[in-house]
Structure 1
């Protein structure tokens, strides 16, 4: 993980995974007290997908059994990105979940979100949007975040 700054008072956070270079983006940008976290995925430190969905002959996921594991890993990755700025999931004010199957996501999201935020009612706005495809064929979920660091 790497944190960089520019002269415009923007700071960027990176994981060093292959798609950062290929696509040309940081994992997050901090401007002032605001942190904008790019869509986080279920991957390990080497960029390998954690809990990849099994694909059918059409190249699309054939089941959504790994939704919970992917969602847990995605929240954990978001926490790592936020930590680069000294923030935590407690600083998140909005999240947007992009999922391939809304029903499968609803089945596990409540439990996973409560665990990730360590509370029964996370204090952040939440959007859940069904999409037809994500960045990699074996992905089931991607989550973007916006956090605000409130000065003490």
Structure 2
């Protein structure tokens, strides 16, 4: 696959610049969204609220796949990392509200923590865009 067949988008997160990564990358028929939290710029949305952080993080991820002309119906995989297992019900409720109609495969993990201790949730999304002309 040539570098022209790979397209990247940024969301403006300061971590994208400092760590050198893209918010989302399209390669062939896949669009993969990097780990995404409820930060928008320097502001964390839903501080202390795992449900709200999940909705905001997935909202940012869905905005990223929209850059490639895709919507939520194109999502085939999600990954959710939680800081606390006690938040699984709130996070699951937010996930179901967003993805119940498309039912992607998902992985849910409890992790040791995040770079910023106020972050309770990080999400990843993978979408399928079908046959792509290259």
Query: For the residues of structure 2 that align with 1:104 and 1:98, how far apart are their CA atoms?
Result: 11
Q: Residue by residue, what CA displacement relative to the aligned partner does 1:93-152 show, whole Å, maximum 9, x if unpaired?
A: 1111010112312x1133212221253xx421110000011132110000111111124x
What is the deviation of 1:8? 3.3
Q: Gaps (5+ residues) in structure 1?
A: 1-5, 54-65
- The normalised TM-score by structure 1 is 0.78
Q: Gaps (5+ residues) in structure 2?
A: none
Between Structure 1 and Structure 2, the one with more helix by share is 2
What is the deviation of 1:21? 0.8
CA RMSD of aligned residues (A): 1.9
Among candidates 27, 31, 56, match of residue 27 of structure 2: 31
Query: For the residues of structure 2 that align with 1:143 and 1:76, how far apart are their CA atoms?
Result: 10
Q: Could you say which residue in structure 1 is the equivalent of 2:11?
A: 15
What is the deviation of 1:12? 0.4
Aligned length: 131
- The normalised TM-score by structure 2 is 0.88
Query: For the residues of structure 2 that align with 1:102 and 1:150, how far apart are their CA atoms?
Result: 35
Greater RCO, CA 8 A, separation 6+: 2
Query: For the residues of structure 1 that align with 2:93 and 2:60, how far apart are their CA atoms?
Result: 17
What is the deviation of 1:87? 1.0
Among candidates 66, 69, 77, match of residue 60 of structure 2: 77
Matched, 1:140 2:134: no
> Which aligned runs of 4 or more in structure 1 are off by greater than 6 angstroms?
none
Matched, 1:112 2:94: yes
Query: For the residues of structure 1 that align with 2:21 and 2:9, how far apart are their CA atoms?
Result: 10
Query: For the residues of structure 2 that align with 1:93 and 1:68, how far apart are their CA atoms?
Result: 21
Q: Could you say which residue in structure 1 is the equivalent of 2:74?
A: 91
Q: Residue by residue, what CA displacement relative to the aligned partner does 1:9-45 show, whole Å, maximum 9, x if unpaired?
A: 110010112111111100010001101110111022x
1:76–1:116 CA contact under 8 A, matched in 2: no
